[in-house]
Amino acid sequence: MRKSGRLTRLAALTALIPVLALLLFQAPASAQGAPMLVEGKKTLYQRLVTHPGAIPYQSPGGAAVGPPLEAFTVLYVYEMKFEAGLRWYRCGADAKGTNTFWLNFDYVTLWNNNMTAMFAEKSGRPQPVLFFKRAESLTQLAQTAGIEGALRDLTEQFDKYLKSKQAPPEDFPVVAEEPSDEEGKIPNKNFYLLPILSVDNSLEGLKFLEVVAINPGDPDIMIPEGAPGAGQGQGQGEGADDGLPKSTGICFVIDTTISMGPYIDATREIAKRIFDTLQQSGKADDIYVAIVAFRSSVERAPGIEYTTKLISDFTSAKDRAGFERSIDTVEEATVSTHSYNEDSIAGINRALDLNWDRFTGGGTIILITDAGPLDLSDPNKATSDSALTVHEKAEAKKVHIVPIHLKSPSGQRNHAYAEKSYRGMASQYGGESAYIDLRIQSAAQGSARYSSFMDGFVENLRAVLEGGGKPQDKPEQGDEDTQEGSRRGAFIGYSIYLNWLGQTKNTAPMSVVRSWISDKDMGVMEKDASLSVRTVDICILLTRNQLSALGDTLSKLVEIGEKVMGDKDSDFFTSILNSALLSGTDPKLIQLTPATKLGEMGFMAEFLEGLPYDSEIMTFTKADWESMTAPSQRDFIQRLKAKIAAYQKFNDNLDGWYKNGEDPGEWLYRVPLTMLP
């Protein structure tokens, strides 16, 4: 097997990785054509994920029927059998039993909950994610004074073992770590997953996750010595060149309604400064800039001319002349729109429709507005998307959203609503929300503070491109708000750099290790309990069929809710009992009481049960519905519609699907827990 630094990171730990014996099945072999059910479930099938070296066999111990499967292939389990003291599983890629084969237990992990973790935004996290042998080590660490220092010491010690190519002592608690800042961020094209086997919720505010880290595209992926397939590469890895430019994109989405003139002028100058910075640092092809303008409903106010408008598509510094001519034509509207809120979500969607796939480093959308987004109930909205839906759509494209909210005295009544919406839309940078609120008393002051924020952004971008700086401290010039704005701008500029660096170095995820991680940075939480710095995002891996069925269920709930909404003579829960949602259940078996929950009525998908998230639907009671006012019921229905719209976008995002087998219905998508009903 070819040696590399990344392989050495784990190869020295081979002896620490146990045989992955998880759950002994007590269920009988499945009927022909049907996978085994997870114990205690009626519709949820048992699955497993493969390890490197997993060879498909015609029968237990019989002839091989093909080469080793790609690492982290997700399969259904049809049967379990012991043969010559070894455990074997009959598996297949789909739930129809189309083509099954046998795998040795030593090369698979049983996986019941379909949960997976992804590394959260790296910038701003003081420490890389450490993978511990045992949950007890994390618990002890959480109860230790000086957690941040302890984590730093463990990281330094582990790095020394890696550099010296020596295996850590048996009592050393760490078995692996996330790639470092210098290596950059794992590119999206390296599709990695961290299957979550179990969750420990014993400490308030923290989740300890038992995970298996597998990279399906790593030529140096760790294969046990002597195993079938040892020494065989699994795909492209470090140094592979896909021919794409190592670049990233920045799109300004700017409110061009009345009063926004000074910010249009400031954005024009900032875009030019970004191009100057790129040319001076010799990185003219590394960052591309685009501009989208938005207003509101043209039908309600024809004089505003447009709802959204693409001012300039992505342009590099080399082609800046055409970009600057386009942005010089942008002016604020001359007439008012129908509401204080504007259709900023339509503007974000217009930006997301641009070709972000051209960039290997993802991208950033910078929204500039003094108003909130049109409410979900506003019939003049150009889209049914909510702030959360737009956030998830952007995350799927590896695009970060930075909302800059100008809080002027005239919009004071709107500030709380707008802030809540934009915080839901904003990305997270190492525990800090990318939401920026600039409190202003005049347009001149607002323009100055917006420029200060972008000064920090551009200057830090210049520093890292020219030599690799890190986020600057608060500048000494200006008032507290101006200093903080500049610091936040610098911080976000550095985050864009991390994306770019990860693509340039083609940072790869780890190979294989079973271990425990914390879902939050405990060192940061110890210093300030109000900060929640996520180390990973928890998702559930759903098939296309499951996602479609979930969308259909919510659509039927919406249909029923809209029929009975505000009607005192109709009951939401009774209508559900008499609907097609419960076609396979005798309604007489369900006794409705004020405490009856939707999740107890038998029509929600079983995979939603037991997940570590707060579900609005599963715990929603008859009493909850009846206590709602008509506007509150309408908001509840609108939230369901937003989820449905998100599922449709997931379905249409072909690049986001893990093509597991030939049946598109069995392809897999990482759905964030926040997007579940």
Are 52 and 197 in the same domain?
Answer: no
Amino acid in the structure at residue 458: V
Position 22 scores a pLDDT of 24
pLDDT at 264 over 50: yes
Are 333 and 434 in the same domain?
Answer: yes
Pairing of strands 248-255, 363-369: parallel
With H, G, I as helix, E, B as strand and everything else as coil, classify residue 86. strand
Token pair for 359: 């960039």
Distance (Å, whole) CA 478 – CA 488: 14
Are 277 and 401 in the same domain?
Answer: yes
- Kindly state the DSSP code that residue 90 receives in the 8-state scheme: E
Structural domain total, the chain:
4
Establish if 12 belongs to a structural domain: no
Are 514 and 659 in the same domain?
Answer: no
Are 321 and 468 in the same domain?
Answer: yes
Domain limit, last residue, from 92, 111, 130:
111
Contact by Cβ (8 Å): 254, 264: yes
Q: Residues with Cβ < 8 Å from 552, sequence gap 6 or more? A: none
Position 109 scores a pLDDT of 83
Token pair for 259: 């009063």
Are 290 and 382 in the same domain?
Answer: yes
Tell me the pLDDT band of 176, cut-offs 50, 70 and 90: confident
Are 294 and 436 in the same domain?
Answer: yes
pLDDT at 301 over 60: yes
pTM: 0.58
Establish if 15 belongs to a structural domain: no
Are 633 and 613 in the same domain?
Answer: yes
Considering only residues 20 and 496, tell me which one the structure prediction assigns the higher pLDDT.
496
Position 581 scores a pLDDT of 66
CATH number at residue 41: 2.30.30
Are 575 and 665 in the same domain?
Answer: yes
Mean pLDDT is lowest, of 197-206, 224-233, 314-323, for 224-233
Establish if 601 belongs to a structural domain: yes
Going along 41-150, which residue ranges are E strands?
47-50, 74-83, 86-92, 100-104, 108-111, 115-119, 130-132
DSSP conformation letters of 395-433: HHTTEEEEEEEEE-GGGGGGHHHHHHHHHHHS-EETTEE
Position 193 scores a pLDDT of 63
Amino acid in the structure at residue 97: G
Are 340 and 481 in the same domain?
Answer: yes
Distance (Å, whole) CA 304 – CA 88: 68
Domain limit, last residue, from 90, 111, 132:
111
Q: What is the pLDDT of residues 402-461, one digit of tens each?
A: 898 888 888 888 899 999 999 888 876 655 677 888 888 887 787 778 777 777 777 766
Pairing of strands 208-213, 194-200: antiparallel
CATH number at residue 260: 3.40.50.410
Amino acid in the structure at residue 379: P
Establish if 39 belongs to a structural domain: yes
Closest of 415, 434, 436 to residue 371, by C-alpha: 415
Establish if 9 belongs to a structural domain: no
Establish if 161 belongs to a structural domain: yes
**In the block, which residue shows the tokens 């939480």?**
525
Are 176 and 254 in the same domain?
Answer: no
Are 484 and 356 in the same domain?
Answer: yes
- For 354, the domain range is 248-505
The residues with which 83 forms a beta bridge, in sequence order, are 86
Establish if 2 belongs to a structural domain: no
Establish if 16 belongs to a structural domain: no
The whole-number average pLDDT for the span 201-223 is: 64
Domain limit, last residue, from 70, 85, 111:
111
Of 5-19, 344-358, 465-479, 642-656, highest mean pLDDT: 344-358
